[in-house]
C-alpha cells in the first residue's frame, strides 16, 4: 500500500465559542427591578394609600436605565459577569424605596424634602458613568500606564476640601467641596485613584516586596526604597483626612493599603502588621483628637445619661439600636416603622431603618446581596490573566466589603461610628457615583477574565485543527482538505528507499553505531504488508 493511500489521522477541531446572549443577566434584572419597584409601591400604598403622581414616570426611568445598561454590556462587554449588574441595581432599588419612605415621613413634619427624586437622578448619572467606563475603556490594562497620574489625582482629590472657598464643613467634617448648588465628597473618588496606583505600583515591584528585605522577629519586611513611595502616599492621605476629621475614609484607605499589599506579596505578616498599626493608630487618635475621643466615648458609654444627652451624644446610635429591636425577626413591614426618629436615617443610619421595617431576615438578605457582589469581584480577580487586573479587581472588591463592615459595625455598636455610608443604598451622590464607577471597572475586568483567549492553551489544538498530509499533497493543501477553515499543514517527507543488502546489517567497526544510519536500514515490506514509513 502506497504512502499516499494511507488515510490521514482524524484532525482535531475546536469551534469558536458562541457569543454570550446574557439571558441570565436579563432574567436577574427582571427580579431586581421587581424587588425595587415593588418596595417603592408598597411604601406609598401603606403610608398615603395610593401611588405617587409621578410613579410611572419614575419607574419608566429606572427600567430604562437598567435596559440601557444591559444593552451596552451585551454589545460592548458580552463576556462580563452577568450577576454584578442585577445585584447592584437591586441594592440601588431597595435604597431608593427606603429613602422615599423617609421622604413621606418628613412630609408629615415641618421640613418636607425630595431626597428620593434626587437619588434617582444621581442613580441615572452614576449608571451612565459606569457604562462610559465600559464603553470607552476597551482594555483595563491601559490604566497601568497612568499609575503615577492616578497617585497625583488621588492626592489632589483628598486635599481639595482644604482649598479656601472650595471646601465646605458639614456636620463637623471638612470633607466636602461645593460645585455650584452641589456638594461632593472627593475622597469617595480618591479611593478608585489610589486603587489604580496601588495596583500599578505593586505589580511592578511585586517580587522585590515579597523577597527582598530584612527579617524582623520572623517577619519578612520589604526594603524601604521599594515600599517608600506607596508608604508616603498612604501617610500623606491619612494625615490630610485626619486634619479634615474624616475618620471613616482614613480607615478605608488604610484597609485598602494593607489588603492590596497582602495580595501582592502573599505575606500573612502584613495582616499582622496592619492590625498592630491600626490598634496603635486608633489609640493615638483617641487621645490626640477631640472628635475621635467623642466617637469612642459614644461607642463605649452609649447608654449613659450624660453621653446620651450630650452634644454630640449617643442618641442617634441608641435610637438606631432600638429601631433594630423593634423590627425583630421579620420587621414591621414597609411603612410601618418609625425610622424617622433617628437622625440621618437616610444616609449614615439607613441600615437600621431597613432593619426596623424588614427585620433581621431582611438585613441578612441585604448582606447576602453584598456578599454575592464582593464574591463576583474576587472571582473576577482570580480569573483575569494579568497581574494588574488581579490586584485592581481584588482591591476594588475588598474596598466594597471593608466599607460595608465599617458601616454595619458602626451602627450596630461593634466598632465606633465613622460616618461612612452603605454603598448603593444610602443617600448621597458622591458615594453612589464612586461605587458605580467601581462596578464599571469590575464589569470591564470581568469581560477580559471571561473572554476566551485567542491563543490556544498548552496541550490543546488551535482552532481549525491539524491536518497531516503526505509529501505529494503538501504542494496543494486545498486538494487534501477542501474547506475555508484555517488549516495547519504538517508535511511528513518520505524517507529514501533502503539500500540493497542483508536484512540485518551488523556493525563491524569499533566506532559507536550511527543511530540515524541504523534507522534507515530496514527490510522491504512483505507483499500485502503496510509500509511502516508511510
pLDDT of residue 469: 46
Burial class (CB in 10 A: 0-12, 13-18, 19+), 499: exposed
Q: What is the mean pLDDT of residues 466-491?
A: 44
Instruction: Decide: 101 and 43 in contact? Cβ < 8 Å.
Output: yes
Task: Quote the radius of gyration of the chain (alpha carbons, Å).
Answer: 32
> Residue 275 to residues 107, 141, 258, 264, 401: CA-CA distances in angstroms?
46, 32, 9, 18, 17
Over residues 350-381, the pLDDT tens digits come to: 999 999 999 999 999 999 999 999 999 999 99
Q: What is the mean pLDDT of residues 382-407?
A: 93
What is the three-class DSSP state of 199? helix
pLDDT of residue 279: 78
- The three-point CA angle 52-54-57 to 5° equals 135
Q: What is the mean pLDDT of residues 463-476?
A: 47
More confident residue, 247 or 313: 313
pLDDT of residue 4: 47
- The three-point CA angle 227-230-232 to 5° equals 100
Indicate whether 482 pLDDT > 50.
no
Indicate whether 524 pLDDT > 50.
yes
- pLDDT band at 498; cut points 50, 70, 90: low
pLDDT of residue 69: 96
* DSSP at 140: G
Q: What is the mean pLDDT of residues 74-86?
A: 94
Burial class (CB in 10 A: 0-12, 13-18, 19+), 372: middle
Cell numbers placing 354: 431597613
Q: Per-residue DSSP letters for 474-503?
A: TT-HHHH---SS--EEEEEPPPPPPPSS-S
Over residues 4-54, the pLDDT tens digits come to: 444 555 554 444 556 677 889 999 999 999 999 999 999 999 988 888 888
pTM of the model: 0.80
Q: What is the mean pLDDT of the chain?
A: 80
pLDDT of residue 167: 74
Instruction: Decide: 416 and 410 in contact? Cβ < 8 Å.
Output: yes
Cell numbers placing 510: 569499533
pLDDT of residue 177: 83
- pLDDT band at 479; cut points 50, 70, 90: very low
Which bin fits 22, alpha (ψ -120 to 50), beta or left (φ > 0)?
Answer: left
Burial class (CB in 10 A: 0-12, 13-18, 19+), 105: buried
Contacts 24+ apart (CB under 8 A), 98-101: 98/39, 98/43, 98/339, 98/346, 98/350, 98/353, 98/354, 98/357, 98/425, 99/346, 99/350, 99/427, 100/40, 100/43, 100/44, 101/43, 101/47, 101/334, 101/335, 101/339, 101/353, 101/357
Indicate whether 72 pLDDT > 90.
yes
Amino acid at each position: 500500500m502506497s504512502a499516499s493511500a494511507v488515510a490521514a489521522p482524524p484532525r482535531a477541531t475546536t469551534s469558536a465559542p458562541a457569543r454570550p446572549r446574557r439571558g441570565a443577566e436579563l432574567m436577574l434584572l427582571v427580579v431586581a427591578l421587581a424587588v425595587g419597584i415593588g418596595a417603592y409601591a408598597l411604601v406609598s400604598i401603606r403610608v398615603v394609600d395610593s401611588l405617587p403622581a409621578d410613579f410611572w414616570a419614575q419607574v419608566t426611568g429606572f427600567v430604562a436605565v437598567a435596559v440601557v445598561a444591559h444593552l451596552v454590556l451585551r454589545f460592548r462587554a458580552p463576556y462580563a459577569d452577568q450577576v454584578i449588574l442585577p445585584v447592584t441595581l437591586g441594592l440601588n432599588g431597595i435604597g431608593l424605596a427606603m429613602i422615599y419612605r423617609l421622604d413621606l415621613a418628613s412630609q408629615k413634619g415641618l421640613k418636607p424634602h425630595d431626597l428620593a427624586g434626587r437619588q434617582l437622578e444621581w442613580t441615572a448619572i452614576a449608571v451612565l458613568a459606569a457604562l462610559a467606563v465600559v464603553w470607552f475603556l476597551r482594555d483595563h490594562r491601559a490604566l497601568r500606564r497612568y499609575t503615577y497620574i492616578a497617585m497625583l489625582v488621588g492626592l489632589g482629590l483628598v486635599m481639595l476640601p482644604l482649598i479656601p472657598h472650595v471646601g465646605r464643613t458639614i456636620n463637623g467634617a471638612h470633607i466636602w467641596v461645593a460645585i455650584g448648588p452641589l456638594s461632593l465628597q472627593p475622597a469617595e473618588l480618591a479611593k478608585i485613584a489610589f486603587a489604580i496606583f496601588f495596583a500599578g505600583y505593586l505589580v511592578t515591584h511585586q517580587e522585590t516586596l515579597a523577597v527582598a528585605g530584612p527579617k524582623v522577629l520572623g517577619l519578612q519586611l520589604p526594603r524601604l526604597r521599594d515600599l517608600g513611595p506607596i508608604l508616603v502616599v498612604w501617610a500623606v492621605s491619612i494625615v490630610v483626612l485626619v486634619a479634615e476629621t474624616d475618620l471613616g475614609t482614613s480607615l478605608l484607605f488604610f484597609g485598602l493599603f494593607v489588603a492590596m499589599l497582602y495580595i501582592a506579596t502573599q505575606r500573612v505578616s502584613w495582616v499582622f502588621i496592619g492590625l498592630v498599626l491600626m490598634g496603635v493608630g486608633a489609640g493615638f487618635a483617641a487621645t490626640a483628637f477631640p472628635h475621635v475621643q467623642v466617637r469612642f466615648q459614644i461607642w463605649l458609654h452609649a447608654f449613659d445619661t450624660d453621653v446620651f444627652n450630650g452634644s454630640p451624644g449617643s442618641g442617634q446610635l441608641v435610637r438606631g439600636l432600638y429601631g433594630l429591636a423593634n423590627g425583630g425577626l421579620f420587621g414591621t413591614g414597609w411603612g410601618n416603622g418609625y425610622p424617622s426618629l433617628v437622625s440621618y436615617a437616610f444616609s449614615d443610619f439607613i441600615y437600621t431603618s431597613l432593619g426596623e421595617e424588614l427585620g433581621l431576615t431582611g438585613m441578612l438578605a441585604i448582606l447576602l446581596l453584598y456578599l454575592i457582589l464582593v464574591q463576583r469581584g474576587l472571582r473576577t480577580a482570580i480569573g483575569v490573566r494579568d497581574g494588574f487586573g488581579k490586584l485592581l479587581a481584588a482591591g476594588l472588591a475588598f474596598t466594597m466589603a471593608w466599607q460595608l463592615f465599617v458601616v454595619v459595625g458602626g451602627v450596630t455598636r461593634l466598632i465606633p461610628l465613622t460616618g461612612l455610608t452603605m454603598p448603593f443604598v444610602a443617600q448621597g451622590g458622591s458615594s453612589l457615583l464612586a461605587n458605580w464607577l467601581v462596578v464599571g471597572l469590575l464589569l470591564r475586568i470581568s469581560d477580559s477574565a471571561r473572554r476566551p483567549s485567542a491563543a490556544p492553551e498548552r496541550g490543546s489544538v488551535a482552532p481549525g485543527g491539524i491536518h497531516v498530509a503526505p509529501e505529494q499533497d503538501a504542494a496543494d493543501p486545498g486538494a487534501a482538505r477542501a474547506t475555508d477553515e484555517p488549516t495547519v499543514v504538517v508535511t511528513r517527507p518520505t524517507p529514501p528507499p533502503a539500500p540493497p543488502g542483508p536484512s540485518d546489517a551488523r556493525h563491524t567497526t569499533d566506532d559507536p553505531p550511527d543511530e540515524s544510519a541504523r534507522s534507515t536500514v530496514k527490510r522491504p515490506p512483505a507483499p500485502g504488508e503496510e509500509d511502516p514509513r508511510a
